[in-house]
Structure 1
Amino acid sequence: MTDSHSAKIDGLAIFVKTHLLDSFRDAANDSCGVVDINRRHLKNYSFGATFWEGSSSRIVDLGKKGGPLEGCVTFNNNDLQIQYEDLQFRCHRVNPHTGVPNGGNASKQAALMKGSSSLVFLPGMEEAFVDKGEIIIGLDADLDEGLIGAQLGLLVPTYDRNKTKITFKLLKTLYTSSSLADLPKVEEQPSSKGQQNRPRLEKIGLGVKIQNE
C-alpha cells in the first residue's frame, strides 16, 4: 500500500461522509415511514424501492448546477455513478453479512471486467488494489432500523471450486448505528433479521446473482 493510495481512500471517505451520508440516512428514515403506513402489506421490497428512489434523487439534486456535487453525478438508465477525483463509484444496499450488493448488476459486471480472480488480497493491503476492483459504498438498511451502516470497499472476483464469485473487500467503515465500529471485526454466524448490533463479515464470497435492489 502506498501513501498515495491511502490518501486517496481517506479523501474519498471524507467526501462520502460530508456529502452523501445525510442523503442515505434521510432516505432510509423516509422509507421506514412509508412502510409504517401498512406493515401488513408493505415489506422489504417496498422499503428497498423507496430507499433507492429517495437516496438517488437526493444525490442527483446535489449534482445539479450550483449544487455541492456539481459535475460529479451521472444518472442514466437507473445507474447512479459518482466521481471523486479520478475515482468513480456506485452506492448499493448490500447483504449485511457479506457486503455484496443484493442487486448491483453494473458494479458486479465492472468488477469482473477489472479484476483478476487470481489476485491475492493480504490483510491490510486492499487499498493497494483499488484499480483492480470496483469501488462501492455498501449500505446496510432495513425497514426496522433505517440506515444501520455504510462501508467503503471493493468488489472483486474470487475463484473457488471452479466458480468465479464476487467478494467484498472492506476499505473503510463510514457509519454505524451501533458502537461496534470501534471494535475489532469478528466472524460469527449471521444473526436473525432485524437484530441490533450485527457484526459484519468482511471477506465472504457470494456467487454473482442478479436481483432487484
Structure 2
Amino acid sequence: MASSFFITGTDTDIGKTWVTVALMRHFSQQGFNVAGMKPVAAGCEWRSGHWENNDALMLQQYATLPFTYQQINPYAFELPLSPHIACGEVMVEESRILSSYETMQSQVDRILVEGAGGWFSPLSQSLDNARLAQILRLPVIIVVGIRLGCINHARLTLQAVQAAGVECAGWVAVEIIPDRVDYQANVEYLRGCLHVPLLAEMPHMVVADFDVLASKFEMCI
C-alpha cells in the first residue's frame, strides 16, 4: 500500500475532509509524521491578513508538524462557488501547488491531498482534480457518500480514475444520512462491482470524533 494519497469524492459535501483527517489521525497513531493538503479551496473567510478555509484549517490542526496555512492551502478564494468561478482573474499555477506539495512531502512520512468537489470538478479555468492527481502521481481514494444515486456516481468516478491512468487504492463509504434503510444494501452492491478495496465505513456523526473514525481504517490501510 502506498504511503500518500489523493482524496477525491463522488460529489461535494460527502465527507472528504473528515475522511482525510481520519486517515491523518490513523497514520499519526502509527507513529508517522503526517500532513494534509487542500491545494485549492473556495468559501473562505478573511483571518490574520489572508483568506482561510475551515477544511484546510482542520488539516493544518491535525498535521504532526507545523506547516504554514499557505503551504497547506496555496489557493484560497472568498466566494463559496466552484473554484474556477471563485478564482476570478487569479491564475492557479500547477508549479506553485507542486512546490508546496514537494516541500511538505520532504518533511513527513505521509501526506493526504484533498481535492475540491468530485473527480472532474474544476480547480481553475485550466486545471481540475483529475489533472492534479496525475501531476502529483498519487494513488486515489474515492469517498462515496451513501445516498440515492451513489452507485452510479461511484462507478463513473472509478471508471474515470482508471481511464486517467491513475491507481485507485480503494474507496470509503460515508453514512452521510443517518439510518437510511438502504445504506447496507448500497454498500454491499458497491463492494461487488467496484473491484477495488473498501478501506473503511465512516458512521454518521454530527460532530466528528476522529479517534473513532481513524479506528475504522485499522484493518485495511
Do both share a fold (TM > 0.5)? no
Task: Compare relative contact order (CA 8 Å, sep 6+) and give the higher one, 1 or 2.
Answer: 2
Query: Given the two structures, how large is their TM-score scaled by the length of structure 2?
Result: 0.32
Query: Given the two structures, how large is their TM-score scaled by the length of structure 1?
Result: 0.33
Higher normalized strand content (fraction of residues) = 1
